[in-house]
Amino acid sequence: MANNILFFTALKANDPNMLAYQEWSLKTWQHYADRFGHKLIVLQDPLYDTEWMRPTWQRWYVYEILEHNNIEYDQVALIDIDTMVRWDTPDIFELSEGKYAGSIDDLSIEWIFNSVNGYKEYFPGVDLQWDRYINNGVLVLPKEGGKEFCKKVTDFYLENVDSLRDKQHVSLKKGTDQTPINYLALETFGEDIKYLSKKFNMTHMYKTHAFIEDIYIRCSYIWHFNGLPRDQRDAFMKATWEKIKHNYGN
């Protein structure tokens, strides 16, 4: 039976604290998967050395991983392991309308603007604007063409690996896959992209003061604990779980 897939990347080499905070993430997402009949998959073993290819790039082998493991699938979502989902969140696959879908990320204009300009050389004919820049923490891949798009992503990395690694670690330092993916998605899907409400990827919550009075829990559906020091994510996510766990049957 084919299910919609919630695909997470939790490579041990990426972040030693991930072994702790992924517990709170997956408790919420398993509940979500069970509500809607989706299947939750976690990539835990790297396909390549994680310095040569960061985990954020390795997740784009999702369709090859599913097929190698004989897992039938319908639509696929890529979700960061430092997220938690509220107990009453609507089905993001229905909201995506079968399209490539994600939430706009515009909280650090400097970072986005310079990242977009820094990767522009690979995409001279693509006009990516900062106000249509999607955060990769919660992405729904299209029902038609998702597999082909992922192949396009991995081919792009392998064809440009040396210069991309230089930009990631030395010369630019403005992210790994996120900006190239934004370019590739715009190049591939054009206007046929579904922009989800930011309620479905509440990012950088410390910047927006969303932690005050637990506003983030009350005003959004998916909480993304990015931007926090990695050694603090477990504490924030565990504290969140303790406040809300009764809503998940715990």
* pLDDT score, position 2: 84
pLDDT at 107: 83
pLDDT in the model for residue 1: 75
Average pLDDT over residues 26-54: 96
Q: What is the 3-state secondary structure (H, E, C) of the chain?
A: CCEEEEEEECCCCCCCCHHHHHHHHHHHHHHHHHHHCCEEEEECCCCCCCCCCCHHHHHHHHHHHHHHCCCCEEEEEEECCCEEECCCCCCHHHHHCCCEEEEECCCCHHHHHHHHHHCHHHCCCCCCCHHHCECCCEEECCCCCHHHHHHHHHHHHHHCHHHHHHHHHHHCCCCCCHHHHHHHHHHHHCCCEEEECHHHCECCCCCCCCCHHHHHHHHCCEEECCCCCHHHHHHHHHHHHHHHHHHHCC
pLDDT at 250: 65
CA distances from 148 to 43, 100, 155, 170, 180 (A): 20, 12, 11, 30, 16
pLDDT at 187: 98
Q: Rounded to an integer, what distance in angstroms lies between the CA atom of residue 143 and that of residue 149?
A: 11
Residue with tokens 């990320």: 105
> pTM for the full model?
0.96
* Higher pLDDT pick, 229 / 116: 116
- pLDDT grade for 13, boundaries at 50, 70 and 90: low
Per cent of the chain over pLDDT 90 is: 90
Residue with tokens 């597999």: 147
Question: What's the rounded mean pLDDT across residues 127-152?
Answer: 97
For residue 131, CA distances in Å to 103, 107, 121, 219 come to 11, 10, 20, 22
| pLDDT-based confidence at residue 220 (cuts at 50, 70, 90) | very high
Give the strand pairing for 100-103 and 73-79.
Answer: unpaired
Name the band, by pLDDT with cuts 50, 70 and 90, for residue 23: very high
Give the span between the Cα atoms of 105 and 102, in whole angstroms.
Answer: 9
